[in-house]
Structure 1
Amino acid sequence: MNQEKSRHIMSTAPYACSCGADLPDQVSAELHASEANLCTACFGTLEEEPYPGWRRRCLSCAGTGRRGPQLVWELAHAEAETAIPVRVVLALLPTRPFRLSELADLVRERLNLPPGRLPVGPRVRDILLQLQQEGEVALISAPEQLVDDAGAVLYDNPYWVKTAR
């Protein structure tokens, strides 16, 4: 497998691979990465660039550059979507301001989910963002970091509050 990866060193700007494959667009680059057993998000580089100029370890493959860990993570996210329903999170919303991690711990405890098996925090975050759109909760933390001039921001462990309806 390591020999397979060494024959495919990909880049994203423009899409290219050391094997000489024709990669005119993102779809063809993702397909080629998949066929080469590389992560289709970072193309085996171990890093992703969610915003221009801001690089981090690839979250899709846990910084391995491999397709296998990426698939495991995608399956875990899909399982979390069915194992953690919106109604459970809504029922567990505290009446006082709460942190994302606190609510994730409550959900894990209520559903008796072992730590590390499912991405509980990311699933709860996604549900909170959905509930925010519906007016059920409000984000009350200031961002930890401004990523770019266009207003992209990062939150570490933000505070939320249930809104009065």
Structure 2
Amino acid sequence: MTKHTISPQTGILGEAFACDCGVVLGGRMVAELHAAENDLCSACLGSTTEEVAPDLVRGCTACAGTGRRQEQITWQLAYAEAEHLITMSVVRGIVARFDGPFHLSEIADTIRTGLGLPTGRLPVGPRVRDLLLQLQAAGEITMLSAPDEMLGSDTVLYRDPQWQRARTLGI
């Protein structure tokens, strides 16, 4: 059985990757294809880790740190199902029930309970986070949280951010 461990290579080729099987891969897309063809996660290329920011490495979220393609596909399908069930109107409806500040976890838990989803059934938190960030970008809610951690000079980490509905001025 041939081992496939894909790693980035620095040199005159620009962005290139090499696999332990001896194949030199001339770019990210080629490396992702090689990983997928060999049942490896195409996000982390089978390494099981992802670099979130310089000097911050964590387990790959696309494959749950397994490095395998099956887990990546399972997660992608679960996220697609979450997109179908957890719509912007669902999140807006839950947010409208809160008079004061609310945490991401409160909205996610309310949605999970309302839809009757057991914990771990779907990636509810990541889907709700994405929609809350869209509401924030649209000016419908305002983030109240300070970052929990600074990662380098331009990256911040929020563990359970808190928002509040934006107030409209009656003139």
**TM-score normalised to the size of structure 1?**
0.93
1:9 and 2:12 are equivalent in the alignment:
no
Aligned to 2:22: 20
- Code of the residue aligned with 1:11 in structure 2: it is S
Report how far residue 46 of structure 1 moved.
1.0
Deviations 1:2-44 (A, max 9, x none): x45xx11111244110111130100000000000111111111
Unaligned runs of 5+ in 2: 11-16
Describe the SS at the equivalent of 2:30.
helix
Distance 1:36 1:134, change over 3 A: same
Correspondent of 1:49 among 51, 60, 63: 51
Give a deviation string over 1:50-74, Cα, whole Å, max 9, x none: 2222111111100101000000000
The equivalent of 2:144 in structure 1 is 140
Residue among 112, 118, 121 paired with 1:117: 121
Matched, 1:164 2:149: no
**In structure 2, which of residues 29, 38, 41 is the aligned counterpart of residue 39 of structure 1?**
41
Q: Which residue of 2 is the match for residue 155 of structure 1? A: 158
CA RMSD of aligned residues (A): 1.1
Q: Find the counterpart in structure 1 of residue 111 from structure 2.
A: 107
Higher radius of gyration, 1 or 2: 2
> Partners in 1 of 2:108 and 2:25 — Cα distance?
41
Name the structure 1 match of 2:75.
Answer: 73
Q: Deviations over 1:65-101 (max 9, x none)?
A: 1000000000101110001111111011112101110
**TM-score of the superposition, structure 2-length normalised?**
0.89
Identity of aligned residues (%): 49
Report the Cα offset of residue 114 of structure 1.
Answer: 2.1
Q: Say if 1:18 and 1:81 are closer, same or farther in 2 by CA, change over 3 A.
A: same
Distance 1:102 1:136 in 2: 18
Tell me how many residue pairs correspond in the alignment.
Answer: 160
CA deviation after TM superposition for structure 1 residue 113, in Å: 1.9
The AA in structure 2 aligned to 1:152 is T
Match of 1:90 in 2: 92
Structure 2 Cα separation of the partners of residues 13 and 41 of structure 1: 17
The change in CA–CA distance for 1:54 and 1:13 in structure 2 (over 3 A counts) is farther
Ranges in structure 1 where 5+ consecutive residues have no aligned partner = none
Distance 1:117 1:22 in 2: 38
- Name the amino acid aligned to 1:41: A
After TM superposition, which residue ranges in structure 1, 4 or more long, deviate above 6 angstroms? Answer: none
User: What amino acid maps onto 2:105 in structure 1?
Assistant: S
